[in-house]
Amino acid sequence: MAGRRIGYVQATIMVAGFCLFLGFMLYYFAWFARFMSFGGGEQVDAYGYRSWLWMLFVGLGLCALAWCWALVDSFSILRQATKK
């Protein structure tokens, strides 16, 4: 909105982080449904989702990075607008 092309990079990072987070959540809910359908038995690995935890942490980290970057840029734009 401020005419800066860097906003596209910020949006791409946010979307990538959200997709990773969403991918983990979909996998986790599918695993949980399988786990509950077997009654929590040994047919399903009780910690089968842990190999996918990296998606959760990387996704949340990318979202936080993009959000903080956008916050800093917003303050910068506001400061420039008040100087004019």
Residue 16: the pLDDT is: 98
Residue 70: the pLDDT is: 92
Contact by Cβ (8 Å): 58, 20? yes
Residue 41: the pLDDT is: 63
Residues of the chain with pLDDT under 70: 1-2, 40-44, 46, 84
Residue 7: the pLDDT is: 87
Residue 84: the pLDDT is: 67
Residue 40: the pLDDT is: 63
6 token code pair: 């860097």
Contact by Cβ (8 Å): 62, 17? yes
